[in-house]
């Protein structure tokens, strides 16, 4: 009698789903790792190397226009409590300090709360004297040479009329070299000679002599009559800036990486390509 043995079919283990599951989990871990390390690299660059900023006002026209987006090198002057992402009142001085140069276009924190970001040109260093006489800038008693370039037409934004100023190229002495840059100036037949106008406002075209104290610098906008800067030393003035402590420096403006002339509502997307200022993209700032 033939002995028939029961045949038991053992189930074959299906590894397809598990492999698929492991592959998906591996991809998720890779994505998380990429995001983490990418974010960390961006954070380090943002804290130590470059900080992006945008220009919201016209105080630096024609060098910087409203709608310019700039990169600021934070390593140029070293680091302080003001250049870190969060304000640290207990940190004093600057780490790896490098002195700014006359003529630098710099970003710094304002001298009063909430310590907003400002961008201006450094025209006076510690120990310098600075004065404006008949609209001409004087540094250490010497007039800064400038050349007339003609009229300059601009609109600070779409809601204001066109301004017509006079454009000059200014030759600002900076150690052994000259910083050549353009400024704007209104044209007047006769300038009021008093440091203050009849209404009590500061006369920005004929000022007193400013003596820059140690540990500070004197900043001015290139749009000379539309700039709240170091000429305003009265803390009660809405335009007050005064002498800027060197600890307030964030960094030096290096170049414009994007520029947008917002003359139309944002929803009119068909104007987007023509409102990009293509000629200003990646333009060095001097």
Q: Write out the two tokens for 235.
A: 């803390």
List residues bridging with 54 in a β-sheet.
69
Is the C-alpha dihedral spanning 172, 173, 175, 180 positive or negative?
Answer: positive
Which residues have a catalytic role annotated? 59, 120
CB half-sphere exposure, 145, CA atoms < 13 A: 6
What does the alpha-carbon distance between residue 108 and residue 224 come to, in Å, rounded to a whole number? 19
- Dist CA 105 CA 114 (whole Å): 22
Q: Which residue has the tokens 């001085």?
A: 93
Cα–Cα distance, 167 to 62 (Å, whole number): 9
Q: What is the CA radius of gyration of the chain?
A: 29
């Amino acid at each position: 009698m033939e002995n028939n043995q029961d045949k038991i079919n053992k189930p074959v283990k299906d590894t397809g789903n598990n492999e698929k599951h492991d592959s998906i989990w591996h991809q998720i871990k890779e994505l998380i790792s990429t995001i983490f390390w990418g974010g960390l690299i961006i954070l380090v660059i943002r804290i130590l190397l470059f900080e992006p900023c945008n220009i919201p006002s016209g105080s630096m026209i024609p060098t910087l226009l409203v709608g310019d987006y700039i990169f600021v090198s934070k390593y140029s002057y070293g680091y302080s409590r003001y250049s870190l992402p969060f304000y640290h009142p207990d940190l004093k001085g600057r780490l790896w300090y490098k002195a700014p140069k006359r003529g630098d276009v710099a970003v710094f924190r304002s001298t009063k709360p909430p310590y907003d970001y400002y961008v201006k040109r450094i025209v006076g260093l510690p120990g310098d004297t600075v004065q404006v006489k008949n609209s001409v800038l004087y540094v250490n008693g010497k007039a800064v040479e400038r050349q007339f370039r003609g009229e300059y037409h601009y609109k600070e934004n779409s809601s204001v009329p066109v301004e017509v100023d006079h454009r000059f190229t200014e030759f600002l002495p900076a150690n052994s070299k000259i910083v050549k840059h353009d400024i704007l100036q209104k044209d007047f037949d006769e300038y009021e000679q008093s440091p203050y106008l009849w209404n009590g406002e500061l006369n920005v075209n004929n000022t007193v002599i400013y003596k820059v104290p140690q540990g500070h610098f004197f900043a001015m906008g290139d749009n000379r009559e539309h700039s709240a800067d170091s000429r305003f030393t009265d803390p009660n003035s809405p335009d007050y800036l005064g002498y800027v402590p060197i600890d307030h420096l964030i960094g030096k403006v290096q170049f414009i990486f994007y520029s947008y002339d917002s003359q139309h509502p944002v929803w009119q997307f068909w104007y987007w390509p023509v409102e990009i200022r293509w000629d200003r993209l990646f333009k060095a700032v001097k």
